[in-house]
Amino acid sequence: MTAFEPLPVPGALLVRPKPLADSRGVFFESVRFADLEAATGQRFRPEQVNYSVSRRNTLRGLHGVAVPPGQAKFVTCVRGAVRDIVVDLRLGSPCFGAHAVNVLTAAAGDAVYVPEGVVHGFLALTDDACVAYVLSTAHQPGTQVDVNPLDPALALPWDFAAPPLLSAKDAQAPTVAEAHDRGLLATWTG
């Protein structure tokens, strides 16, 4: 039975499958979407699945999607390990600025459910780390919301030993204050 554990970001969940081990290895059911919907109270029907492969110390994020259209994510590491962080930047949220940190490994099979309006990123802890994103909506150009993952106002505990490898887009992403001023942040709907 998969367990759903609430995170400090309202609506975000850590999803822990129950592994079945034997001499061949391990099997686990990652998630039944009907169970995820029961745990969140939100409809989740996959519309797109993406994968990223990253070398050690690569930082991807913080990314979200404008609401509307909105996009919930079911994120899991299918090879290697990553430090995953979700941040509540929904205007009016009682937990605005709160974040949740989880280490996701392929071996454990844990996943994070990221609700609409919440931004997400991760730091690759291993070479060749592969992350799968199951998305509630298909990509719509022009709806991506990016926030600088190194914004000092967020002070996120990435815990990297050397400066991380960032895309130019992520390195130049607006701070939270700039994203707010540009009207990029979602609104809390409670």
**Which candidate in 51, 63, 139, 180 is catalytic?**
63
pLDDT at 144 over 90: yes
Output Rg (C-alpha) for the chain, integer angstroms.
16
pLDDT at 190 over 90: no
The whole-number pLDDT of residue 109 equals 95
Over the stretch 152-186, which tens digit does the pLDDT of each residue have? Answer: 999 999 999 999 999 999 999 999 999 999 999 99
DSSP string, 94-125: TTTT-EEEEEEETTT--EEEE-TT-EEEEEE-
Q: What percent of the residues of the chain are helix, what percent strand, and what percent coil, each to the nearest 5?
A: 10, 40, 50
Q: Which amino acid is at 178?
A: E
User: What structural domains does the chain harbor?
Assistant: 3-181 (2.60.120.10)
pLDDT at 1 over 90: no
d(CA 158, CA 121): 10
Q: Catalytic residue at 63?
A: yes
Q: Catalytic residue at 133?
A: yes
**Which candidate in 99, 113, 120, 133 is catalytic?**
133
